[in-house]
Amino acid sequence: MPVAPLIERLEARRWRITPQRRAVAETLVGEHVHLSADEVFSRARTGFPDISRATVYNTLNELVAMGEVGEVRSPTGPVLYDPNGTDRHHHLVCTGCGTLFDVRPEGVDALHLAPGQRHGFRVEDVEVVFRGRCGTCP
């Protein structure tokens, strides 16, 4: 079942949606969307010209803390924000240009650490990154 868009999930959680916060949340829409904080800032400004960079950063941090937005480290740049924070997925990343796709690989649920390698951890999540070259990078 597809996960509801970020803004709908936030409405359902009764998050206090100010116009500024809405402008931020509305930049994060769709599959395969991974934006840097600067990209979110410049897009949010088209809907809300007076929005400050601090508001954008604070809102992103809050959404990450809520688990609604994921953070992905790009091989070519800064941390990227992913609207599918609640939709468990993995990433396919081009090491040439940084293009990043959401993927759902088979077999991930079968991955596990032998007890001797858990170092006392209670493992809660697994993240897999497939790296390689996209069709347009040499």
- Which lies closer to Zn ion via its Cβ, residue 51 or residue 93? 93
DSSP state of 24: H
**In terms of CB distance, is 68 or 102 closer to Zn ion?**
102
Least distance to Zn ion, CB of residue 115, Å: 31
Taking the complex as a whole, the smallest distance from the CB of residue 51 to Zn ion amounts, in Å, to: 24
Q: Which stretch of DSSP H or E encloses residue 57? A: helix 53-65
Minimum gap (Å) between residue 111 Cβ and Zn ion: 18
Judged by the rule CB under 5 A, the positions of this chain that interact with Zn ion are 82, 94, 96-97, 99, 102, 134, 137
Please state the closest distance from residue 19 (CB atom) to Zn ion, in A. Answer: 27
Calculate helix-pair angle for 53-65, 37-47, nearest 10 degrees: 120
Q: Considering the complex, state which of residue 52 and residue 130 has its C-beta at the smaller distance from Zn ion.
A: 130
Residues 6+ apart with CB under 8 A from 130: 90, 91, 92, 93, 103, 105
Please say whether the beta carbons of 16 and 24 come within 8 A: no
Q: Which is nearer to Zn ion, 129 or 137 (CB)?
A: 137
